[in-house]
Structure 1
């Protein structure tokens, strides 16, 4: 087994000659075997080993194990450090399980030890059976591709030399070396999901597939390669298509929906993680809801504890949850003011001023701020107002559409639609500021009198 582990370490560059390594050791079979194997490689690779025992404050037996691991380290010429943490108290205060709190605190102490001794990495004793259990655990929780990658030989500052071997290999090694490890009685309790997987589910699956451990490890290895490719593709797409805002970020809805679904999901998750600062798992239904918004109309919103997402005409925006909410046009009260146009004069609609004159001569130059209508045909019914539900405009003798559809086709931002001055007759729009006149309001060659209206003011630019 020593040769297998050594070759695995070299293949994955888990350490370099002269490195200092922190070895996490509880005194159990796996970690004791790891300490013994790495100690046998010390001289060959000039390694310096710092053995760390973390006392979780849960088991009385841990008091004896501290001394056991200390002696094991000294016998192999290694430094030894230990630290105690009250996991039950911390778990209660944080409203976490003891299993979760114990893992968090264990790695916190290991990393602090590594920093103190300037260690290149932290060696842990996860092996192929642990890998199989991890994949099953993630599968039971409905994991995506990333979760099925399981554990990597090297994850940041964590190295796993024993992913090359099985629990049976380790047991054989312990017996052959005459090692007598400690026994953690909590490993035999079914109160933890991982223990139930190890003690019940995995043995049951072996009845269907005796090679289930190696097959699940192969699955993790395959998925790691696939996932690595997808991460690179996502990073490239993110850099190209996601725009950074202050605060938040956004992506063009058309671009997002044009991408493969797998890439859409990863981009949305990355945007979510960047803005929320949440590195862990994001609920799948969050991802799907955000993706769906990119295919919907302007003004859609989604909120959770850490982010707020909304859509504009072109983009899907994600901002921190505490960001001040901009006005969502569909949600605000529309200005229902209507101003009858009863001849020449000046008329006011909000910030806009309409100046109307009558002329028997048609203006020669076209100006989007100026409307020219047939005064004789509709003058008694002209009103100046903003849009309302049910508005429609006739663009040709046989062509009519709702004003909403017209704005969509013209890509008028939703944030502007309620602020565009209109001249209307009932629900029929005769002129849209900055756009066009309706067919029935267009000036005829025999028109004896022109109504010329000029718009000034406001913050829209035709």
Structure 2
């Protein structure tokens, strides 16, 4: 196994040679064997152990074992304890996800502080198979069926070609001690059920299961690459960047989408980076009326005649109503405004209005427009619905979405911010009661 790993690293992980490596070690047989192998091969290694305090005294004994293992070999050793259960409850996450996040966040901090080049984990071929089967039971896209990556950013997994059996045999033959996690035998975890009940049956059906599975993974990776290349080729035809202010916004050409052999499948891959999940609704959006939209946790997709407008949701703007107290002179959210007394002279500027303080009732309101809103536009007689104003000014759906109104506390509109003032609040001469409201751009 030692020679096989040496050759495997030479062929597939040559970048590890001469680098500072941080091994994630639990005390279990996999990480202990990985450490022993790299120690024997004279790699520059250090160890990092997480004590998640999930097994009480057993967790403490794990930490002591790893410390002793490192000291006997004169290997640098880092250890940290976490109150994992408490943090999981606070973050409303599963213990498994919380532990994983804590582990990798700490590892990355150790790398930054101590100049480690790579983090090594001891995932092996059986782990890969189990992960595949877990994703199969839960449902997954192609990403979930291409296996645990051998390299991802600064994380490397050189044991993926070895089976659990090979690792156990090496440890036994070389009299290597390790800690056994009793929870690995518990069938309350899905991974353990698959490990102890499903995989043995599959190996009975096909004794060469891991080898067959490895070839399947490679085929799926190749298929994924073909798909990735196809999506990259199609994306420029479907996505058109638009808007100077809205960097990262795109207009999706519906005509180009409908030309695709399977619009839903292509939309799944094109929009996956934007966290959409309701792809049936997105397909329905292609034939929906203008104004309909589908929202993800980070973006929205808005139907606009012959296109779909993809824009990022500003979490700070998720709130649609803001209040502006009397003594506040500057705000930055949802937009940047400055209010101050101005008795000099009126300067005509679309980003500035002048109002009489006597007409203002605080707190002022900054909000999005709603159906039925109307105002008295400067330069016109009578009132006008904002929806009609938008139509006359040829506002796009996105421009309507991004428009903010400044209103008096009684909801009378003062200003379509940056666009048009209400004549009821217009002031033509500056005096000591004049308030200047300016939109910072």
TM class by shorter chain equals 0.5 to 0.7
Q: Distance in 2 between matches of 1:18 and 1:61?
A: 36
- In structure 1, the partner of 2:352 is none
Partner Cα distance (1:29, 1:5) in 2: 16
Q: Please list every run of 5 or more consecutive structure 1 residues that lacks an aligned counterpart in the other structure.
A: 274-281, 326-330, 336-347, 352-385, 387-411, 416-462
1:358-369 matched pairs, under 5 angstroms: none
Asked if residue 39 in structure 1 is aligned to residue 39 in structure 2, the reply is yes
118 and 237 in structure 1: CA distance in 2 versus 1, 3 angstrom threshold:
farther
1:300 corresponding residue in structure 2: 292
**Distance apart, 1:200 and its partner CA:** 1.6
Inter-CA distance 297–214: structure 2 relative to 1 (3 Å threshold)? farther
Matches within 5 A, 1:46-445: 47-59=43-55, 60-239=57-236, 241-245=238-242, 246=246, 248-261=249-262, 262-270=265-273, 272-273=274-275, 283=277, 286-322=278-314
CA contact (8 A) 1:53 1:82 kept: yes
SS of the counterpart of 1:138?
helix
User: Secondary structure of the equivalent of 1:15?
Assistant: helix
After superposition, what is the alpha-carbon deviation per residue over 1:194-246, rounded to whole angstroms, capped at 9, x for unaligned?
A: 11111222123334333333323322222122212322332343355423341
- Residue 293 to residue 192, structure 1, CA distance change in 2 (3 Å): same
What TM-score, normalized by structure 2, do the two folds share? 0.67
1:93, CA displacement in angstroms? 0.8
Deviation at 1:150, TM superposition (A): 1.5
CA distance in 2, matches of 1:263, 1:306: 20
Residue of structure 2 equivalent to 1:377: none
Distance 1:32 1:194 in 2: 21
> Are the counterparts in 1 of residues 240 and 252 from structure 2 also a CA contact under 8 Å?
yes
Cα distance in 1 between the residues matched to 2:11 and 2:80: 33
Alpha-carbon offset, residue 151 of structure 1: 0.6
Q: Label 1:14 to 1:112 Cα distance change in 2 as closer, same or farther (>3 A).
A: farther
- Residue by residue over 1:16-43, the C-alpha shift from the partner in whole angstroms, topping out at 9 and shown as x without a partner, is 321001001111110100001111122x
Mapping 1:17-32, distance limit 5 Å: 17-32=17-32
CA distance in 1, matches of 2:209, 2:113: 41
CA radius of gyration, larger in: 1
Normalised by the length of structure 1, the TM-score is: 0.64
How far the C-alpha of 1:311 sits from its partner, in A, is: 0.8
2:13–2:158 contact (8 Å) kept in structure 1: no
